[in-house]
Amino acid sequence: MYIKGRWDPYLRELYKNTKLSVIVPVFNEIHTIETFLREVLEVPIPKEILIIDDGSTDGTREYLRKLENADCRVFFHKKNRGKGAAVQTGLQHYSGDIVLIQDADLEYPPYQYFFLLEPIVRGNADVVFGTRFIGVHRVFMFWHYAANKALTIMTNILFNTMLSDMETGFKVFHRRALEGISIKSSRFNFEPEITAKIFKKKSLRVVEMPIAYFGRSYKEGKKIGWRDAVEAIWTLIKYRLID
């Protein structure tokens, strides 16, 4: 197995022919970006890292301009357009077999890539959602948890699924799962939009994997709020009815 800092020969063989594209939307993460990138680069899976700075103003942009690493490509938005817009930029430039989307805030430890990719690499899934509420997670922010649960239940009703965590920030896709999907959402409503469009492609196999999650408080930098929950409801309904 893989333990942080340890590379099992079995896993080396399993992932040797896999190229992973990690899409990283970034906005004002100067306190975490360096550590985050180091941890991603330490994961010994062949990969490219596509970093999209979404108009940062706290020094993140300047740090990324000086970044020198052959595995990283950096794209800059002139102004803040939202997570969905940053992901759209990443999806226009990736080249890997598998796409993983992750924020740079260290809420989701990168060493978990192995667990998330394995169902796809073994041919048992096309899409993997990492569920925060089954694995190890920070125990706080009840109302945030309740909103997530309500949105997940709504997703399950609308699309006849049995997800436990629709809003997870750890979503992984085989490139064939993304074929024909065009993302229009610019903000955090990217999450329900991509979820809706994945489930409307009836042939795709979606599985969940438990993950460790160390969420931040708003004081620590969390950005999503109640307005995003309202927008997520509308997005789920809209993309249930239209393409």
- Give the C-alpha separation, 153 to 166, whole Å: 9
The three-point CA angle 186-191-197 to 5° equals 100
Q: Of 144, 151, 124, give the one whose Cα is nearest residue 209.
A: 124
Reduced to 3 states (helix: H, G, I; strand: E, B; else coil), residue 60 is helix
DSSP 52: E
Reduced to 3 states (helix: H, G, I; strand: E, B; else coil), residue 20 is strand
- Give the C-alpha separation, 20 to 12, whole Å: 14
Prediction pTM value: 0.86
The residue type of 237 is I
Residue pair 170/129 in contact (Cβ under 8 Å)? The answer is yes
- Give the C-alpha separation, 66 to 44, whole Å: 24
Instruction: Grade residue 221 by pLDDT with cuts at 50, 70 and 90.
Output: very low
- Using one digit for the tens of pLDDT, what is the confidence trace for 39-60? 999 998 999 999 999 999 999 9
DSSP for 119-160, please give it: HHHTTS-SEEEEETTTSSB----HHHHHHHHHHHHHHHHHHT
pLDDT of residue 101 exceeding 90, the answer is yes
Contacts of 84 (CB under 8 A, 6+ apart): 183, 184, 185, 186, 187, 188, 189, 190, 193
* pLDDT for the residue numbered 92: 95
- Using one digit for the tens of pLDDT, what is the confidence trace for 196-209? 999 999 889 999 99
Instruction: Grade residue 220 by pLDDT with cuts at 50, 70 and 90.
Output: low
Reduced to 3 states (helix: H, G, I; strand: E, B; else coil), residue 238 is helix
Which ranges of the chain would DSSP assign to H, the alpha helix?
9-15, 33-42, 60-65, 83-91, 113-121, 142-159, 175-178, 190-200, 226-241
As a whole number, the mean pLDDT across the chain is 87
| CATH architecture of the domain with residue range 9-241 | Alpha-Beta Complex (3.90)
